[in-house]
Amino acid sequence: MKRRYLIVAVVAVALVGLALWLFPSPPDDYVEQPAGGTASAELLERGRVLARLANCHACHTARGGEPFAGGRAIPTEFGTFYSPNITPDAGTGIGGWTEREFWRALHVGISRDGSLLYPAFPYPSFTKITQDDAHALWEYLKTVKPVSRRPEPHTLRFPYNYRPLLRVWRALYFQPGGYKPDAAQSASWNRGAYLAEGVAHCNLCHVPRTGLGGPDSSARGRGANVLGWYAPALDRPTEAGLQNWSTDEIIGLLHSGRGTSAATLGPMAEVVYESVQHAPRADVEAIATYLKALPDASSASPPRERKSPAAEVVAPILDRGGTVYKDRCATCHGDAGEGRPPAALALAKNRAVTMDSAINMIRVVLYGGYTPGTAGNPQPFGMPPFAQDLSDQQIADVINFVRTSWGNEGSFIRSDEVLRARTGPLW
């Protein structure tokens, strides 16, 4: 037993040494700000919008808690992270920080005391943020109400609770540096790329992760499992790819949380509600321009081969599923899955229904949900929860029925996939 710990310790030290060698301290490229003076209203407004787009408010606010005072639990496979207090309170927040320290945290993921920050704080994306924008954020955060609230310590499993190992992670996955504009693209595209890849850190959810939680850059055309949901691929038109959408449709979905053929629920509903709906139209349009232009990477990762059940098994599944559909779903979603807009989306030819991962659909049938109550859609319609009303088998049956009816060509799911979705935090 002791021997094993020794080996682990030696390996860890060797890895840290290797990482130090591979990855020297990041460059200090902070440009000193002119001292004194008061921030202009324009600068503060820019900071406020950036804080929204970067989703600072959602992550750093506990349910019912004071804005930016931290304490929100973020469950991951490495353990639970608790967001820190970023109000200007001197004792427990960032009131005692200098702007240079704030910039270093944002730009290279190093905290005030020199410790490495976990990439649950999306500094690998925020590193693209310009110092101008970081300055606006800093000035804005200084204006929020200071709250004295000591952050809870993270509860991470070994070895992830050993911070110095983050050097290895950084050597593998972290590229410091600002956003480099692409001269071949329009200004709007570049603004969109800056916001989507940097400030709004879309990649944190929409790109698959390796076992160590780093972005799996080889996995194009695939989304990722996040917080019990599947964040569909943005470079795949049969998932969440927006290549074939009009820019107005994309803006509508991102601003209101609800489109004519798609709706946001789960973590994406949070992104719309807390973040994107507060951004000016020009910024959302820029993001839309960028997302629409993402190259279609479908061919890079062909859909998973799923075994279809034998024909004699399929018939009774569809029979049972059809009965559940008629009883519980048809009133709103229509006898032929045509929907009843705007109250209920069409299910026929709906990619959220047919895409390879069925977990989102399973969750929506189990727990229902309303799209976010945004300024653009303040009284959204909702889907009822059926967790307490239907068995795992009934839910699997009706999902199989919907995934394979009316021209839908989705794969079959099993009832144990429904069972597994009945546990874990709701998000």
Partner 1 sequence: MHLRAVALLLCLSIPGFTQAQEPPLDSIAQRAKPCTVCHGEQGRATPEGYFPRIAGKPAGYLFNQLTGFRDGRRFFPEMTFLVERQQDDYLRALAQYFADITLPYPKPIQTQASESALQQGRDLVLNGDPKRSIPSCQACHGEQLMGVLPATPALLGLSPDYLIAQLGGWQNGTRHALAPDCMATIVHELTAADIHAVTAWLASQEVPENAHPQEGFKTEPPARCGSIEVTRP
Give the binding-site size for partner 1 (rule: CB under 8 A).
Answer: 33
Alpha-carbon 251 to chain mean position: 18
Question: C-alpha distances in angstroms, 321 versus 151, 317, 334, 400, 418?
Answer: 48, 6, 15, 7, 14
Instruction: Report the residue number, 27 or 382, with the smaller CB distance to partner 1.
Output: 382
| Residue 34 touches partner 1, criterion: CB under 8 A | no
Q: Which stretch binds partner 1 (CB under 8 A): 25-33, 232-240, 351-359, 362-370?
A: 362-370
DSSP state of 272: I
| Least CB distance to partner 1 at residue 264 (A) | 10
| Residue 299 touches partner 1, criterion: CB under 8 A | no
Considering only 369, 403, 411, 418, the residue that binds partner 1 (CB under 8 A) is 369
| Residue 331 touches partner 1, criterion: CB under 8 A | yes
Q: Which stretch binds partner 1 (CB under 8 A): 151-159, 196-204, 221-229, 366-374?
A: 366-374
| Residue 267 touches partner 1, criterion: CB under 8 A | no
| Least CB distance to partner 1 at residue 326 (A) | 14
| Residue 385 touches partner 1, criterion: CB under 8 A | yes
Q: How far apart are the first and last CA of the chain?
A: 40
| The two three-digit tokens of residue 41, written as one number | 């209203």
| Least CB distance to partner 1 at residue 374 (A) | 8
- Which DSSP string do the residues of 146-198 spell out, in sequence order? P---PPPPPEE-TTTT-GGGHHHHHHHH---------TTS-HHHHHHHIIIII
* Distance from C-alpha of 323 to C-alpha of 314, rounded to nearest angstrom: 14
| Least CB distance to partner 1 at residue 344 (A) | 9
| The two three-digit tokens of residue 332, written as one number | 């709103």
Q: Which stretch binds partner 1 (CB under 8 A): 46-54, 74-82, 267-275, 350-358?
A: 267-275
Considering only 49, 205, 207, 383, the residue that binds partner 1 (CB under 8 A) is 383
* Distance from C-alpha of 179 to C-alpha of 191, rounded to nearest angstrom: 10
Considering only 30, 78, 82, 370, the residue that binds partner 1 (CB under 8 A) is 370
| Least CB distance to partner 1 at residue 85 (A) | 17
Q: Are 102 and 133 in contact (CB under 8 A)?
A: no
Contacts with partner 1 in 48-87 (CB under 8 A)?
62-65
Q: What is the largest CA-CA distance in the chain?
A: 78
- Which DSSP string do the residues of 369-391 spell out, in sequence order? EE----SSSSS--EEPP-TTTS-
Instruction: Report the residue number, 282 or 375, with the smaller CB distance to partner 1.
Output: 375
Classify residue 113 as exposed, middle or buried by CB count within 10 Å of its CB (0-12, 13-18, 19+): exposed
Q: Which stretch binds partner 1 (CB under 8 A): 99-107, 229-237, 380-388, 412-420?
A: 380-388
| Interface contacts to partner 1, rule CB under 8 A | 62-65, 269-270, 273, 331-332, 340, 342-343, 367-370, 372-373, 378-389, 425-427
